[in-house]
Amino acid sequence: MQKSKQTVKDIIKNREKEFFDYLRLDSVSTQNRSIAPTVKYVTDLIVSTGGEAKVLDDLGGNPVVYGYFKADPKGNSEKTVLFYNHYDVQPEDPLDEWETDPFEPTVIDGKLFCRGVTDNKANFILRLYALEYLMQSEEGLPCNVKFLVEGEEENGSPNLDAYLEKYADLFDSDGCIWEFGGKNEKEQFVIETGVKGMAYFDLFAESADVDIHSSLGAVVDNAAWRLTHALASLRDKDNQVLVAGFYDNIEHPSGSAQKAVKERVVSEDKIAGIYGLKHPFITKDLEWSAEEALAFYPTMTICGLLSGYTEEGTKTVLPRKASAKLDCRLVPGQDPLKIEQLLRHHLDEHGFSDVELVLLKGQKAFRSDIDHPFVQTVKESADEVYGSHSEVVLSPTNPGTGPMYSFGKHLGIPVASSGCGHAEGKAHAPNESIRLKDFEEGTHHMIAFLKRFKEA
């Protein structure tokens, strides 16, 4: 008897409990929570969908799950796509700002709320659903599919490069579908083909062995002033980074990349509304536009600042210690180690040799060639699925950071994103969500992509 064919809706319905149980696993990598059961769960999901799975754990860090689905004999076994996803999630705090239990998937008004749902568990699940749909269809799976599902993305993927280097043959493929993606604040479906890199630093200043009565401020310096002066020397009030050499060696984007960015208008009003911004975009004082800043220019951001007395009321004290967290989002051509050298040199030259600088995390940026046939196939299949109601746009560089550079370096493949995210998905924040409609459409996009990829 012939097995009756399931629609995408059927698959979503039939596998809902399995998906929700995946969301219930609090796989917070920075706090080492539920990693082993999540690895087992991901492996089981791949196998129960009809693929082979292997756990790679010989290079340290949280295991990497490899998955493989072979093309149907009617398909094109010469073509292989790699899906990159991660099973780890961000910590759920601050807990009191959640309107639902962070690890209990909850549907309200067509949205599914849970920590890790948009970043990145739903995207992994919808790729599996696309495979299940195609495998039971007349034409079968159109090409080979590999998965790389890692568990340290939210921790900066410290071991992924080593795994990609050692297992380059295992992950060998013709192109990679990136973990995130989806609709922006204008409901355009955005395909990202690059990411910024990162150099993340700790800065420390110390001015005495103990905190001191602030009357001695007449003669004694304090760590808070030392550090804020040092920080202020790094960037002017118009957001220009003042560190000599910081903007050197930046790779010039291709004509197509520039054109794609020009066509993409960032809505300042919408973004201001979402975040309740109190000031206009800082690009108003820069020589480049908001669009160009997001895609092609590096940033320097004080992410945290700590010193002295910060409780209620007064305490007159000279703080002996101050510390800051600083991140630089980098673009192709910039090297985190070089940025560290430049910052060290700058601090020394400006009289802050006592300010300690520690590079915590370094990752290079990556940009695919947006004219590559793989990228075009992702775009054309998105036009097919979303085109009737949403504009599909190519974005040469996502302003965020991810380990894309390692895929380019070890596998030599282009990368493009596809996912079910939405502008108010609140990744990393309380009340993280996806819209179920996007989840279904995302599944259809992967189906359409795999069909086209077979021929591309």
157 vs 299, beta carbon nearer Zn ion = 157
Most distant CA pair in the chain, distance: 91
150 sits near Zn ion (criterion: CB under 5 A): no
Q: Does 441 bind Zn ion (CB under 5 A)?
A: no
**Candidates 56-64, 114-122, 161-169, 275-283 — which segment interacts with Zn ion by CB under 5 A?**
114-122
Query: What Cα–Cα distance (Å) separates residue 337 from each residue in 330, 343, 364, 398?
Result: 11, 10, 10, 22
- Contact residue for Zn ion among 72, 88, 92, 119 (CB under 5 A): 119
Looking at the DSSP bridge assignments, the partners of residue 415 are 176
Torsion, CA 197, CA 247, CA 395, CA 436, rounded to 10: 40
User: Buried b vs exposed e over 81-109: b needs ≥16 C-beta within 10 Å?
Assistant: bbbbbbbbbbbbeeeeebebebbebbeee
Return the range that interacts with Zn ion (CB under 5 A); candidates 16-24, 112-120, 386-394, 436-444.
112-120
CB-nearer residue toward Zn ion: 157 or 443: 157
Q: How far apart are CA 147 and CA 380, in angstroms?
A: 22
CB of residue 374 to Zn ion, shortest distance in Å: 24
Nearer to Zn ion, 51 or 156 (CB): 156
To Zn ion, the closest distance from the beta carbon of 29 in angstroms equals 10
Q: Which residues contact 152 (CB under 8 A, 6 or more apart)?
A: 29, 61, 62, 86, 88, 158, 159, 160
Nearest approach in angstroms of CB 262 to Zn ion is 28
179 lies in the binding site for Zn ion (CB under 5 A): no
Compute the C-alpha angle 294/299/303, nearest 5°.
Answer: 115
Residue nearest to Zn ion (CB): 119
Which residue, among 158, 164, 203, has the nearest Cα to 30 in the 3D structure?
158
Q: Output the smallest distance, CB 150 to Zn ion, in A.
A: 12
Options 96-104, 115-123, 185-193, 243-251: segment touching Zn ion (CB under 5 A): 115-123
Q: How far is the CB of 221 from Zn ion (least distance, A)?
A: 40
Query: From the CB of 72, what's the least distance to Zn ion, in Å?
Result: 34
Q: Quick check: 432 binds Zn ion (CB under 5 A)?
A: no
The token duo for 396 is 């040469």
Considering CB under 5 A, how many residues would be counted as binding Zn ion? 1
Chain residues that interact with Zn ion, rule: CB under 5 A: 119
